Amino acid sequence: MPPLWALGYHQCRYSYADEASVREVVEQFAAQGLPLEAVWLDIHYMDGYKVFTASPQRFPRLAALAQELSERGVRLVPIVDPGVKAEEGYAVFEEGRRRQVFIQDDRDELLVGGVWPRRAVWPDFSREEVRAFWAEEVQKFAGTYGFAGIWNDMNEPAVLELGGAEPPDKALPLTARQGALSHLEARNLYALGMAEATYRGLEALGRRPFILTRSGFPGIQRYAFVWTGDNESRYEDLALSVPMLLSLGLSGIPLAGSDVGGFGLDAEPELLLRWMWLGALYPFFRNHSALGTRRQEPYAFGEPWTSQMREALRFRYRLLPYLYSLARTAHEEGLPLLRPLGLHWPGEAAAWRDDQFLLGEALLAAPVLRRGERAREVYLPPGGWQDFWSAERLEGACLHRVAAPLEHLPLFQRAGTAIPLTEARYPTRTARWPFLCFRVALGSEVRGWVFEDAGEGEDVGAWSELEGGFDGRRLELRFTDRSGHARQGVVAEVWGVAPPTRGQGYAYHNGLLRLDVQGGGAWVAWD
């Protein structure tokens, strides 16, 4: 189960290279009223590219910076690569060498190559004692500096230099020794062992570990989120993120994302806006760009783009109760957050599309994936559907041509579902929502669920549910609250209906019907 804050918005760049750069980003987000959950640090925060260190020049007060930002609700997440600098006197290298944790070559000598530090060695995560060593270093490092999570990169492992040249496939020699195994036998397990060790180190600090990894193996979902690596600022890469994330979800990795805006090349404002709206539905929502590329923070292009991206971010934060509940479902049952339509309609050939997806069972998204498009074709599976924005009711089992303005992405709610939303408040503090608003799409049966807990730690939490039905003339809804915490309000909203003639616990204005279900239930009827 991830910590709640991991589902918020993350901002990263290669690289926010010093404390002033980090503060500038945080201040800009605050000044523009943009939600921000975490800022990420790439390799330039380190002292000479030595893992588990901080540069005394660039980040002389890193622990104080992390504490300062934490008080504002913003977390720091640093990159930690497996390549350890081979430098005399460097404590991590010296201790690792003493404990014989590093990979050896086929002559049983220390294998030395290059990655960001040009003389580097690699821990052998196939061995339990090495995973224990790394967990100790992670615990000390994150505890000392106050980091909220760890970013595992270059963990295939990637190698940039061996014997004075770039090796084939940027890989260690397959004849290298990992305990009783060769690297040929153990390579695909490398990132999994590193993630397990990192998880154990963070877990020892008494909170839910948050790890992002570039590489993995079956079982990686036990330890880490996954992102799809170095994409580029192109519509082709925007479009490709959909089948990639759907494939990861079907492969047992429910918590994943792609670099929003694209990592390489220069982002254009329209592309970034479209990607921000798509990213607002990713399980993992991080904007990330490369060294030397145009800045692409959501405020980078000015108005009207900043305001439009703010709406995408605010929508993400309104969705958090639904996303968190889906994360709990993934935790309990393994079902991914993002799902291909064919997962729920396997017999519908038209449902197997790679340009649409479901978020849970209730929401169908049809993102805009081509430059300049202001409309697109959408396939709605059998059953009733409702346009999330206009409340127009649409029949399924057919194609529809729908508008796709820049202001949002085409989004449709399945009839009979109730989606838990909340106010767009940030930063996130707890997954016990004082105010809940269930968005209802009418159906003969109506059901919706929400999972709540502290958002952190080992809190057991509880599921609450909204249920009821609509027979064409009468709508009745009941809310069963098992959370055990105080509420400011729980309502159900139905858009696009005529004013009811009678009922209990409701208000109506301009096509919006709102039912107060905090006390247990409410009903309306149309005579």
Active site residues: 153, 156, 230
Residue 55: how many other CB atoms lie within 10 Å: 18
| Chain mean position to CA 223 | 14
DSSP symbols for 139-180: HHHHHHHT-S-EEE-STTT--SBBTTBPPGGG---TT-EETT
**DSSP at 110:** B
Of the candidates 117, 116, 121, the one whose C-alpha atom is nearest the C-alpha of residue 134 is 121
Residue 39's DSSP bridge partners are: 11, 76
- Cα 240 vs. chain centroid, distance in angstroms? 17
**What DSSP designation does 342 have?**
H
Residue 358: name the closest of 328, 395, 331, 388 by CA. Answer: 388
Six token digits for residue 192: 């999994």
d(C-alpha 4, C-alpha 418), whole Å: 21
Q: Which residues pair with residue 211 across a beta bridge?
A: 150
Distance between CA 226 and CA 499 in Å, rounded?
Answer: 47
CA distance 354 to 341: 9
Tell which residue, 260, 2, 47, 44, has the closest CA to residue 149. Answer: 2
Contact 310, 298 (CB under 8 A): yes
| CA 199/CA 203 separation, integer angstroms | 6
Question: 351 and 342 in contact (C-beta within 8 Å)?
Answer: yes
- Region label for 443, one of left (φ > 0), alpha (ψ between -120 and 50) or beta (otherwise): beta
H-helix or E-strand spanning residue 314: helix 305-318
Give the SS3 label for residue 389: coil
The Cα 59–Cα 80 span in angstroms is 16
